[in-house]
């Protein structure tokens, strides 16, 4: 049905907003089905870069599944980096990095942290609070690789400070040890 509507759009004038809605729904459908190749082909068929940007951004704002969010964040960064405001760029890059970190977690646990996918530092803190030390190690390694040369609102030093803060808390004892006398 989407392809038929797309053909119809080539034959008759369709208002820009309706065209954006059609392509957005088609793109989200393809991404939900896991067909990234067809989704990429759809975006490449759209001739107007402004329409393509609008479709990609609106699709991302619909908060699709993890793989779709990762795909859209990557696509927007790769093709429209210069067209985005600095704040939006940081937001999309944070979502890309957060989704990449989420993909390193065990599949069944991802749903528990999905709501934090656009806030990787907060996700890391949540993992620390949940005592998922092995997962934190992999997440930190992934973050260090992804943050090289990136500017997304936080840096490697922020990760190190967070780790230091929780390491210090782990060593704090809420009571004093009393010496036993014989």
Task: Please count the CA atoms within 13 angstroms of the CA of 46 that sit on its side-chain side.
Answer: 22
109/107 Cα distance (integer angstroms): 5
What confidence tier does 19 reach under pLDDT thresholds 50, 70, 90? confident
| pTM of the shown model | 0.75
Beta strands in the chain (DSSP E): none
89/81 Cα distance (integer angstroms): 7
Kindly report, residue by residue over 49-103, the tens digit of the pLDDT: 998 999 999 999 888 888 899 999 999 988 998 888 888 888 888 888 888 889 8
Kindly report, residue by residue over 92-133, the tens digit of the pLDDT: 888 888 888 898 899 888 889 888 888 888 898 898 888 888
């Amino acid at each position: 049905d989407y392809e038929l509507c797309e053909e119809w759009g080539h034959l008759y004038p369709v208002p820009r907003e309706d065209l954006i809605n059609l392509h957005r729904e088609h793109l989200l459908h393809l991404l939900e089905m896991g067909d990234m190749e067809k989704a990429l082909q759809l975006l490449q068929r759209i001739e107007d870069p402004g329409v393509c940007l609008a479709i990609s951004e609106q699709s991302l704002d619909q908060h699709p599944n993890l793989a779709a969010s990762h795909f859209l964040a990557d696509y927007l960064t790769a093709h429209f980096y210069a067209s985005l405001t600095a704040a939006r760029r940081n937001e999309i890059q944070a979502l890309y990095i957060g989704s990449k970190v989420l993909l390193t977690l065990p599949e069944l646990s991802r749903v528990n942290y999905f709501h934090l996918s656009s806030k990787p530092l907060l996700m890391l803190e949540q993992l620390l609070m949940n005592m998922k030390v092995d997962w934190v190690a992999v997440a930190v390694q992934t973050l260090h690789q992804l943050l090289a040369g990136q500017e997304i609102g936080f840096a490697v030093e922020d990760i190190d400070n967070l780790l230091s803060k929780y390491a210090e808390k782990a060593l704090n004892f809420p009571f004093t040890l009393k010496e036993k006398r014989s």
